[in-house]
Structure 1
């Protein structure tokens, strides 16, 4: 597949909910399928059926990582010392009053565009709406404002403004008060229009990251600390469900590092949310974002003095299927996104060495559709990468068919590196092969087979480089058997040639015998005719003599 099709660079899109991540078709389209990567929204806005304003905003990240943030049907918990205030939105009472007055076409279209932005519609959904008549657009804007007012998003006694949340976060609240504030903020980020989210995000994102940094670096591991940490993650997830929020978080240098530090298998719910966020970032961002995510995971691993992928692999051992699915999502996002084959093989093999190889058989025994999809994607991409890697040998054989060219190419790659001495040692050992008609060929055949199995390993995993013992293999008997087999094969080949020659000679002989029999029969026939002719001649001569 074309890997560039597999990557998702459609950064101008808005939101679409419901596309599962990652399906086998979407991922390697990662270019199949690094994309293609995403199918369109399953429930597009129909021309005759407008999206009802005031309903929950479609989730932006659902398009990329099946991140479903359930809405809260409960009343938002009261925020201590926070006054309810009117949110800074465009749908104000003044707007409703002015709307009843005559309005120019440009003013109406401006309100219409703002309405679609607040509804978090992507360009695919906006396009058919822009084609509608002006009267329908006016009706839709009126319905949006009216419905928003009825659902309470415009009621002064229920709406908390972004500035109120920002002031509360700046106060440095802790424990239960912070938890209550974050829960209310999560609900507001989920249910309010994009304009509200943007108003909060300009300054609020930095405050959330400050709180998260304080919590993840805290040496006190109390239950309320982890609860608040999870609430911050949920707020970030709600913020990232808009294009604006996703781009803002990706632009913050410390956001990925803090998310990586929040990966903790001891808290599966929080870890699941973190892994889904990182997966979405890997898929939506440019390819350079993969390196940033890997750098964040590396830094987190170094701080904890563990391998950078250990926590992710450890999450696969947890009995939470949701966490296992999230772990495989991130693994697939990291392994399938890079365009470079060597980079993909390197990342996959590093996960394998961290324990993924031993865990995969157990995961395949678990009956779960989401997990089955992720495992299928992983296997498909591994097979495709190995096929692509194997094709390199064909390309090498086609382009480098002279021994001198191959040697120069290999030498240029190992010269003045730590691999140089091993390459020279290999060549020196090859010189020790005896110059025997049968032995030399079998030695090189055996070495070629060994190198092929090491370099083109069938399971796509590097050898165990941690094995430090000398490979003590007694191949003398095996070589003798190969030599004997080679001799037998040569004798059998000669016998086959002789047999073919004998069959040909025997066939020719049989054909000659058949032709000879035909000739003899012809001769006998001619002799009989000659004898008959002589008899007739003698008879006529006898009659003539009697007449005389």
Structure 2
């Protein structure tokens, strides 16, 4: 597991004041000098404006404005403050019970904490954007700035995140793309970029802003790389959480699809690679969470089974038994989720066929089921025609898989299309597909994949030969 060396920085006076303010108002009372714990019914010391922090006239003027508020105005301003703090309803509830005087004191204190500017190098969102936009920043400076930005995104109110906005997210994505084109020194920068995006997505304002940026999630999905387990784990956790947000599942699938096309690999492969035996346990847990979120979120049974099948044929089928055997703790929970939903979907699907038990991972059993479904029906000759046409595919180890992959994608789009297709395919409704460019592209991908595998085997062979020669040399000196 990769451990990041994060340097602690001294808190500015502004941060200390804000920390004390939040600690007192939101559930972490501190002991006073006399040893008596301060409860929720007092205003924190130091939270009110001081002469050295804010001009007395400005503080007095703001206090007089707050005192002049009627009950309705006070309640509205108080609710706006609570919303700006991004508090849960559970934390808002006790604060709403405060007296009018306490609410006024809290408004003044909150104004004081958020009005201070110029206390540090980075204060406003534009400060971070301007700094990160500078060319040729060192790795250390990038990491330090991103660490401060993550803290600011976590601690500041929603208005601050809203001000950070699309421009800030675009700057983060530019920095993240920079990490993909550089060496391992940028791994810690990449990790902090992902954590910054996670902090932005922790509220409705950030979610809306990220969803409006089409490039955001595809760029994030590129961090699903088992060679960088720490970054891949964080990216998997973020994407898994997004799957549970309305419209999030569709956007995550689109993101991993675009990332797969960019790398010319099956879109689910990076997730499956995070489950291999040598992967860190934390990465396995993150990838299992993402896989379960992708599979279980759709409402349509056929779509869930399609996604599960896609994972299985991408490599999960070969390692599923090993994953079950070694599962414990969090991974055991995720494995149980996977198995429980798979069994439930299979039972629901088999109910359509009078509960005939079928192993959907066995081609013979699936074929027998399809054949029996169309036997002695008008659909039977069309199945026969499909099989006959499949026999015409050229006997070539590269071309045949390319054709089958294309056919599988076409069938998938027809069967799982959201709006469906009219079963009465007229001549004007037939597909007009220029097959040759698609086939050429698939063949090129197959060749590239074969070349990659050959290079991997060569590297392993060279390593084995070198190890053998070293062993023989040591044996000769004995």
TM-score normalised by L of structure 1? 0.52
1:418 corresponding residue in structure 2: 386
1:54 corresponding residue in structure 2: 22
Ranges of 4+ aligned residues in structure 1 off by more than 6 Å: 403-406
Correspondence 1:113-512 to 2 at 5 A: 113-122=79-88, 126=92, 132=97, 136=99, 138-140=101-103, 142-143=105-106, 145-146=108-109, 149=112, 154=116, 156-158=118-120, 160-175=123-138, 176-216=140-180, 218=181, 221-286=182-247, 289-317=248-276, 318-366=278-326, 368-394=328-354, 407-408=376-377, 410-411=379-380, 414=382, 418-419=386-387
Contact preservation (8 Å) 2:239, 2:290: yes
Secondary structure, counterpart of 1:172 in structure 2: coil
Q: Deviations over 1:51-82 (max 9, x none)?
A: x9524999xxxxxxxxxxxxxxxxxxxxxxxx
CA offset at residue 142 of structure 1? Answer: 2.3
Secondary structure, counterpart of 2:76 in structure 1: helix
Equivalent pairs counted in the alignment come to 324
Q: 1:249 to 1:138 in 2, by over 3 A?
A: farther
Q: Deviations over 1:182-210 (max 9, x none)?
A: 11111111121222122112421122123
Distance 1:170 1:384 in 2: 50
TM-score normalised by L of structure 2? 0.59
2:77 to 111, 115, 121: 111
Q: 1:119 to 1:417 in 2, by over 3 A?
A: farther
Secondary structure, counterpart of 1:364 in structure 2: helix
Contact preservation (8 Å) 2:374, 2:380: no
CA offset at residue 386 of structure 1? Answer: 0.5
Q: 1:98 to 1:325 in 2, by over 3 A?
A: farther
2:32 corresponding residue in structure 1: none
Q: 1:422 to 1:210 in 2, by over 3 A?
A: closer
Higher-RCO chain (CA-CA 8 Å, sequence separation at least 6): 1
Q: 1:124 to 1:390 in 2, by over 3 A?
A: farther
Q: Deviations over 1:432-469 (max 9, x none)?
A: xxxxxxxxxxxxxxxxxxxxxxxxxxxxxxxxxxxxxx
Q: Deviations over 1:88-111 (max 9, x none)?
A: xxxx95885345532222331232
Contact preservation (8 Å) 2:223, 2:232: yes
Q: 1:234 to 1:422 in 2, by over 3 A?
A: closer
Gaps of 5+ in 2: 1-19, 27-57, 357-371, 392-478
Contact preservation (8 Å) 2:226, 2:279: no
CA offset at residue 266 of structure 1? Answer: 1.1
Larger Rg: 1
Distance 1:404 1:280 in 2: 40
Secondary structure, counterpart of 1:262 in structure 2: coil
Distance 2:190 2:321 in 1: 33
Distance 1:161 1:363 in 2: 47
Greater Cα offset, 178-187 or 224-233: 224-233
Gaps of 5+ in 1: 1-51, 59-91, 397-402, 424-548
Q: 1:53 to 1:363 in 2, by over 3 A?
A: farther
Secondary structure, counterpart of 2:379 in structure 1: helix
